[in-house]
Amino acid sequence: MFVLAHLTDLHIGPLPRPRLAELASKRVLGWLNWRRNRRRCHRVEILTDLIADLAAQRPDHTAVTGDLVNLALPGEFAATGAWLTAFGPPEDVSFVPGNHDAYVRAAVAQWDRHWDAYMRGDREAGSGAGPRFPYVRRRGPVALVGLSSAVPTPAFMATGLIGRDQLAAVETLLGRLGAAGLFRVVLLHHPPYRTPASHYKRLVDAAALRAVLARTGAELVLHGHDHVHALEWLDGPAGGIPVVGLPSASAAPGGHHQPAAYNLYRIEGEAGAFRCEAISRGFAADGTGVVEIARRRLLPAG
């Protein structure tokens, strides 16, 4: 059995005090929102307790689907490495960025400096040279395929975009990995389906990604962004593909959003007969601590 953990949208605080020059962008709106609201929603102590509970479960690998930072201030990036290390060494932790990690154009240059080892594909798995995304990491029976939907956007926008190059590459990779009999897990930040969230937060080329998945298949798709527990099914060539989202890993109980949680995926079997059970663990609504919230079979579907 292979156990994969997933959490998302850490939104690590507290924010460093920005210089005035750093607020000369959409950051000024984000700073005001943080001071007025988000700093009470995203709590470091909640994230710390959730990570401690996750560590006690001893997963084989951990996937983090974006939004480590809030305003992508230079001082925020410096703190993220220690948090990623809390999940394990880079070979045991896979990361893909979210829209807050690309909050302004200059932020993208920070990715290689601070997160390179967590987004580096295995050369023998079909990536590791050329463009960073999509990357592939093989771990036991699992192939983790990392996509980036994180792009800088104007004020009041939080849309994502994968782009034609990634879509073409991931179609080839998923076909190759499927033929090798691996359990394919696609990681991205924005959900690849329509959600109740604002039009200004959508994945712009979600339909194109769904078309790729319909042709090549995947066993599991993991995302974040909407800060809610979500399970949707996309069409695949051999049946439904489960697509799972989660609340923010630092969301405090009693707020406007669902409290912090993470998932464990227990993966067994072989190509054509994989079994996968999802176990959700998170904070109870009354804030008493981290408990098991739900347990559900994803594969076989039903």
154-189 pLDDT tens trace: 999 999 999 999 999 999 999 999 999 999 999 999
137-155 pLDDT tens trace: 999 999 999 999 999 999 9
Which residue type sits at 220?
L
Asked if residue 265 belongs to a domain, the reply is no
Whole-number Å distance between alpha carbons of 47 and 54: 10
Asked if residue 272 belongs to a domain, the reply is no
Asked if residue 292 belongs to a domain, the reply is no
Asked if residue 32 belongs to a domain, the reply is yes
Asked if residue 282 belongs to a domain, the reply is no
Which residue type sits at 132?
R
Write down the residue that tokens 């470091």 correspond to: 44
One-character DSSP codes across 116-151: GGGSPPPGGGT-SSSSSSSEEEEETTEEEEE-----
Burial 124-138 (b: 16+ CB within 10 A, else e): ebbbeeeebbbbbbb
How would residue 129 be classed by pLDDT, with cut points 50, 70 and 90? very low
One-character DSSP codes across 207-255: HHHHHHHHHH--SEEEE-SS-S-EEEEEEETTEEEEEEE---TTBPTTS
Angle 212-60-173 from CA coordinates, rounded to 5°: 20
Asked if residue 77 belongs to a domain, the reply is yes
Asked if residue 202 belongs to a domain, the reply is yes
**Total domains, the chain:** 1
* 114 close to 77: Cβ distance less than 8 angstroms: yes
Asked if residue 216 belongs to a domain, the reply is yes
243-267 pLDDT tens trace: 999 999 999 998 788 999 999 999 9
- In CATH, what number is assigned to the domain containing residue 156? 3.60.21.10
Q: According to the per-residue pLDDT averaged within each range, which of 35-49, 117-131, 158-172, 251-265 is highest?
A: 158-172
Find the domain containing 113 and state its range.
2-260
